[in-house]
Structure 1
């Protein structure tokens, strides 16, 4: 179907004029953004949307003649439209304990995380936090996330109910843990599996909602629970799986005591059938070459969480070793261990972690890992993370003039790499002018949830 014929379909079309940026594959470190065929950039672009999906995107002058005189064109010239960010590891119940002091991961869990998660036995509390959490995601330009709930079924129902209201593409699941946690959070191997199966049957594939089996991490699950989770993973290969691995040295020591006889921490999950496509492993700091090879061979994915790793002093993710092994990895916030909902602030810290290991993570790869790269890792390539025709219309509008300092730096940018690097190093939620989910404006920095009338051009220029 041609663009012209697609515009004659019944659904009304809306267009957006701005700079456009998206990726068709991982950018090359040897090529500039302007030379790289995997970087699609239009300085003066046009994005055409209908019925929640992208109909076309490209150069404004090449596409404008295909629009009808009735097409509404939103004028975002001077700004940059790109796919919404995808956060692959985040805990919505921890929104209220972000920036809570602790000397290490395990004390932080016991002092803050577990007591806070206990409150989610109250459905009203779960609903209120879900609403706040999704508001924060949208104001920071995140349109999809892989989300941990609590061990309470209603925490999952509350989250998916709120996400469904916004028509967002979200992945979430009930935490499974049957030991080494307070009784008010503890389930059993049988009940945890039963609840998870009921929830996945209720929510996976309902609208834009997707389910993730969620054993918190090996120390809080008995071998029986990991075995039950493995059986679910085998029975439902279409659902996701998320957990944590190799985050801190103290955690590694504890795991070795709880699970003697395994080659490594990751090997525990491997032996229970939990390394598989659509599995996301938070942190992956203390892996060895064999572990990374297993991640690659099983198509399991590492979610690198730089702000959390620095905040808790867990260690530095090894980008070079991950690249050498060809394992998949993404970048994620890990709120509330992570210190910001902003993927821009997260990119900033990821770049610095790379530099501490003599690795240069350039801006085009930071943005790729947070959009198309995350979509690929989640087996959602061609669905989200792109501005290509046929993908879901989840996109954001970035403002290079959001702050005086950012405006001053972007004004002197001599390349696309410099522009993106300025956004990553200097940007935050203020840089997000607007966030769209399935073609609907869900956040506008100047007028929440509604694009301002001043940004609509009624005549096509």
Structure 2
């Protein structure tokens, strides 16, 4: 039986990147989002759409609030949830002191399920409905994550970390064994419900040439899977890679040599790249995941928006917890705005919201599946409350344009701003115990 739901609120979604297109978004101040069997049927003005609703359709009244597509976080580590906000003088000592000991625990399925449950609840509380997620080297960590995500019917991408050198023995797999386990997990979870698999070499220094070769072969054998890793995050890391792979032109070239640059490949950070690297990213449609909070926290550097835009590098936004210090994509927008300004680039709020929604979907080659409210797209969306805090309410009451409203939400918003989160047309988070949603049966 066909199920219809409708949601009345101000509605915003994107059709293109506003940095390069004048007509890049749809804005309906008094809008209606119509959902049919978990997918978008229509999004537009309430005055036009309400007349065609089937008799008895339930209309959820969110007037005074803003509905946008669910946020997409393209780089985050669920096993690092419990070590967020851990002090260290830089990336490499932070890994040794906190990250690796924390990840050791994920061979225990009970522990992995417990952390996965909290992690997913935290994402949904912050309005994130899709993420590209790193697990650990343990297959149990992947099974736990996908199991919890599948229960919630979320659109998630994740993978087992590959790491066969330069790491503690308790986290070390082998070139053949790690890739074989990855293939088994692909066959178990890729396209199982809404779950998608990502081949996940942690970063070049922790994989031998043999492991990178096998990972590249696996990526070619399963071209509709994702690939995720880190590149050019930190100058010490870049120097380390140069010493390990002296034959490679650059850090990114290490991955390119082993066939890892392709559509659905997501490279986190991309700070210390050159123009040749950026051109290769455009040519191969490999995407950059910008991680401003972790880059500031670890002192890694500032992403160069101007050069990335000149090269037309596909870009998206990410929290990078636990190097990042918040699960909130709104707080991440706050930080990326400042990172851009420090580099001489001004990021309008419209573009920040694009990067966190359709920009993420495009970078992942998932436009048409998630990311906006085009007909047939999966109904993942978030309800934002401009009156969530006294300061936000006072500021948004004085906004005079959509850009001002979005900028206030990005700079002053956090998890409290998320009134409700929906995945596949079903509510998966509601702020507080009551009062965030009113429902009524619509009658013409």
- TM-score if structure 2 supplies the norm length? 0.98
Instruction: Tell me which of 4, 13, 21 is aligned to 1:22.
Output: 13
CA drift of 1:28 comes to: 3.6
Instruction: Tell me which of 189, 202, 209 is aligned to 2:175.
Output: 189
Instruction: Tell me which of 371, 378, 389 is aligned to 1:403.
Output: 389
Match of 2:255 in 1: 269
CA contact (8 A) 1:73 1:460 kept: no
CA contact (8 A) 1:92 1:129 kept: yes
Tell me how far apart the structure 1 counterparts of residues 149 and 15 of structure 2 sit (CA, whole Å).
27
SS of equivalent residue, structure 1 residue 184:
helix
CA drift of 1:454 comes to: 5.8
Match of 2:318 in 1: 332
SS of equivalent residue, structure 1 residue 178:
coil
The yes-or-no answer on 1:136 pairing with 2:122 is: yes
The yes-or-no answer on 1:458 pairing with 2:438 is: no
Tell me how far apart the structure 2 counterparts of residues 203 and 318 of structure 1 sit (CA, whole Å).
36
CA drift of 1:459 comes to: 3.7
Tell me how far apart the structure 2 counterparts of residues 307 and 286 of structure 1 sit (CA, whole Å).
17
| Residues 87/453 of structure 1: CA separation in 2 closer, same or farther (3 Å cut) | closer
Match of 1:70 in 2: 56
The yes-or-no answer on 1:352 pairing with 2:333 is: no
Tell me how far apart the structure 2 counterparts of residues 373 and 291 of structure 1 sit (CA, whole Å).
20
The yes-or-no answer on 1:372 pairing with 2:364 is: no
Tell me how far apart the structure 1 counterparts of residues 375 and 395 of structure 2 sit (CA, whole Å).
32
| Superposition pairs of residues 154-169 of structure 1, within 5 angstroms | 154-169=140-155
The yes-or-no answer on 1:124 pairing with 2:110 is: yes
CA drift of 1:12 comes to: 1.8
Tell me how far apart the structure 2 counterparts of residues 233 and 387 of structure 1 sit (CA, whole Å).
30
| Superposition pairs of residues 271-290 of structure 1, within 5 angstroms | 271-290=257-276
SS of equivalent residue, structure 2 residue 171:
coil
Q: Runs ≥4 in structure 1, deviation > 4 angstroms?
A: 451-454
Tell me how far apart the structure 2 counterparts of residues 407 and 288 of structure 1 sit (CA, whole Å).
43
CA contact (8 A) 2:136 2:160 kept: yes
- TM-score if structure 1 supplies the norm length? 0.95
CA drift of 1:258 comes to: 1.1
SS of equivalent residue, structure 1 residue 198:
helix
Tell me how far apart the structure 2 counterparts of residues 169 and 65 of structure 1 sit (CA, whole Å).
32
- How many equivalent residue pairs? 444
The yes-or-no answer on 1:95 pairing with 2:78 is: no
Tell me how far apart the structure 2 counterparts of residues 100 and 385 of structure 1 sit (CA, whole Å).
32
Instruction: Tell me which of 394, 397, 402 is aligned to 2:380.
Output: 394
Tell me how far apart the structure 1 counterparts of residues 390 and 102 of structure 2 sit (CA, whole Å).
38
CA contact (8 A) 2:10 2:66 kept: yes
The yes-or-no answer on 1:237 pairing with 2:200 is: no
Tell me how far apart the structure 2 counterparts of residues 69 and 229 of structure 1 sit (CA, whole Å).
53
CA contact (8 A) 1:179 1:222 kept: yes
Tell me how far apart the structure 2 counterparts of residues 216 and 375 of structure 1 sit (CA, whole Å).
22
CA drift of 1:453 comes to: 8.9
Tell me how far apart the structure 2 counterparts of residues 39 and 19 of structure 1 sit (CA, whole Å).
13
Match of 1:412 in 2: 398
Match of 1:12 in 2: 3
Tell me how far apart the structure 2 counterparts of residues 430 and 403 of structure 1 sit (CA, whole Å).
7
CA drift of 1:374 comes to: 0.7
Tell me how far apart the structure 1 counterparts of residues 45 and 241 of structure 2 sit (CA, whole Å).
54
CA drift of 1:452 comes to: 5.7
Tell me how far apart the structure 1 counterparts of residues 144 and 156 of structure 2 sit (CA, whole Å).
13
- 1:234-254: per-residue Cα shift (whole Å, max 9, x none)? 111110000000000010111
SS of equivalent residue, structure 1 residue 90:
strand
Tell me how far apart the structure 1 counterparts of residues 229 and 363 of structure 2 sit (CA, whole Å).
15
- 1:260-294: per-residue Cα shift (whole Å, max 9, x none)? 12110011000011111100001000000000011
Tell me how far apart the structure 2 counterparts of residues 63 and 175 of structure 1 sit (CA, whole Å).
47
Match of 2:65 in 1: 79
| Residues 383/454 of structure 1: CA separation in 2 closer, same or farther (3 Å cut) | closer
Tell me how far apart the structure 1 counterparts of residues 144 and 320 of structure 2 sit (CA, whole Å).
20
CA contact (8 A) 2:420 2:436 kept: no
Contiguous gaps of at least 5 residues in structure 1: 1-9
CA drift of 1:50 comes to: 1.8
| Residues 201/112 of structure 1: CA separation in 2 closer, same or farther (3 Å cut) | same
Tell me how far apart the structure 2 counterparts of residues 460 and 409 of structure 1 sit (CA, whole Å).
36
CA drift of 1:68 comes to: 2.7
- 1:25-55: per-residue Cα shift (whole Å, max 9, x none)? 10146x8xxxx42110000001111211111
| Residues 172/63 of structure 1: CA separation in 2 closer, same or farther (3 Å cut) | same
| Superposition pairs of residues 430-449 of structure 1, within 5 angstroms | 430-447=416-433
Structure 1 vs Structure 2 CA RMSD: 1.1
Match of 1:216 in 2: 202
CA contact (8 A) 1:15 1:72 kept: yes
Tell me how far apart the structure 1 counterparts of residues 397 and 286 of structure 2 sit (CA, whole Å).
41
CA contact (8 A) 1:64 1:460 kept: no
Tell me how far apart the structure 1 counterparts of residues 51 and 39 of structure 2 sit (CA, whole Å).
20
SS of equivalent residue, structure 2 residue 170:
coil
Match of 1:4 in 2: none
